[in-house]
Amino acid sequence: MTRTAETSHVGTIPRTVVDRFFDGAPAVQHRQELLRDFDHPDLLARYVKENQLVRIAHGYYAKSTRWQELSKERRHRELAKAVSRQLPHMQFSHSTAAILMGLPWLDPIPTRLHVVVGSQSNNRSTASIMRHRIDLDPRPVRVDGVRTTSPTRTVFDIACNSSFANGLACADAALKRRILSVSTLQKLVTEESTRAGIAKARLVARLVDARAESPGESFCRALIYELGFVMPELQYKFWDGDVSRDRGDFCWPKQRVWLEFDGVQKYKAAEFRNGRKVEDVVFDEKVREDRIRALGFTPIRLIWSQLYDPHFVAKELTRRGIPRRRLTADRSLT
């Protein structure tokens, strides 16, 4: 018997089930992919009991050590890919489609995969799959071999069903990547005017902006709107005479206030440093702030954790003199 061989109830097999999760193999596999004709059906249960495998969903398994290393987003993606191999015509949607497309996700990662099955379908949801009884997308796409709703439909579904901030972050990112256009999103919003959550989708279609540089900026912008304040200008350029050296994430020019989200922390990231040392980046950011202050602008700085405290954000904006806008029918996001 070789080192990796194992004796089952039906004799010797050349490779253990666990070894079938070799490097490069799918992280999640269905029992039909794992078991060979000569494998005993109790093998998977035994490996789960020994904590070598973990049961992800009915019929789907992963190697325990590898599963623990994966992020929640990666786990969701790998399960979707495994299910797709067994059910290739299934149309994944909502959060699952967004995660497969690499769009940002601010809400908690769902524990179930999301699919659309058609408005007339009798298929029910299960512990691992949420089936939405809404029309299938007539123009689905494939992402990593997985059939999903189109980017436009995905953003629309998310805008209707998730938080406003999450919907806006997905829309901003999709627009920035040029896999979404404002016109196609607005067209879908018009066509689906009776859909539950349409008020949020309509607002997302109105406020989506490719200039948002991060999901955090989208979150911040959504919060400013929900708190009822006048919306700022994005990526505002500060001019000193005929020279523009700096720009800010958000600005209210009339109030001479600019807002930086995740300021110094953002500029510490490798993509912003351009090879500079962190201490040099911090110093340069201080010099930049002084230049903008010298033009008569007052800064507001917010970080991720503060966005989860709307009262704090509202207090900061009010303290800096940012006015409230006149509320319209869009005040309700439900």
The per-residue pLDDT for range 87-136, each reduced to its tens digit, is 999 999 999 999 999 999 999 999 999 999 999 999 999 999 999 999 99
What does the pLDDT read at residue 273? Answer: 61
Residue 138 makes CB contacts below 8 A (sequence gap 6+) with: none
Q: What is the pLDDT of residues 158-189, one digit of tens each?
A: 999 999 999 999 999 999 999 999 999 999 99
Q: Any idea where the domains of the chain sit in the sequence?
A: 6-69, 73-210, 216-331
pLDDT exceeds 70 at position 270: no
What CATH architecture does domain 216-331 belong to?
3-Layer(aba) Sandwich (3.40)
* pTM more than 0.85: yes
Residue reference for tokens 């079938």: 20
What does the pLDDT read at residue 3? Answer: 35
Rounded Cα distance between 106 and 102, Å, is: 12
Q: Which of 8-22, 258-272, 278-292 has the lowest mean pLDDT?
A: 8-22
Q: Which residue has the higher pLDDT, 15 or 229?
A: 229
Rounded Cα distance between 70 and 73, Å, is: 8
Dihedral sign for Cα 178, 78, 148, 114, please: negative
DSSP line for 140-162: -EEETTEEE--HHHHHHHHHHHS
What does the pLDDT read at residue 177? Answer: 98
Dihedral sign for Cα 64, 68, 70, 71, please: positive
Q: Of the CATH numbers 1.20.5, 1.10.3470, 1.10.10, 1.25.40, which one belongs to the domain with range 6-69? A: 1.10.10
Give me the chain's average pLDDT, please: 90
Rounded Cα distance between 80 and 34, Å, is: 17
For residue 61, give the H/E element and its range.
strand 60-63
Averaged pLDDT, 42-60: 94
pLDDT exceeds 90 at position 18: no
Averaged pLDDT, 16-23: 80
Residue 7 makes CB contacts below 8 A (sequence gap 6+) with: 1
pLDDT band at 12 (very low <50, low <70, confident <90, very high): very low
Rounded Cα distance between 148 and 97, Å, is: 6
| The token pair that represents 238 in the structure block | 């500060």
Q: Which residue has the higher pLDDT, 263 or 75?
A: 75
Q: Which residue has the higher pLDDT, 302 or 35?
A: 302
The SS3 call for residue 19 is: helix
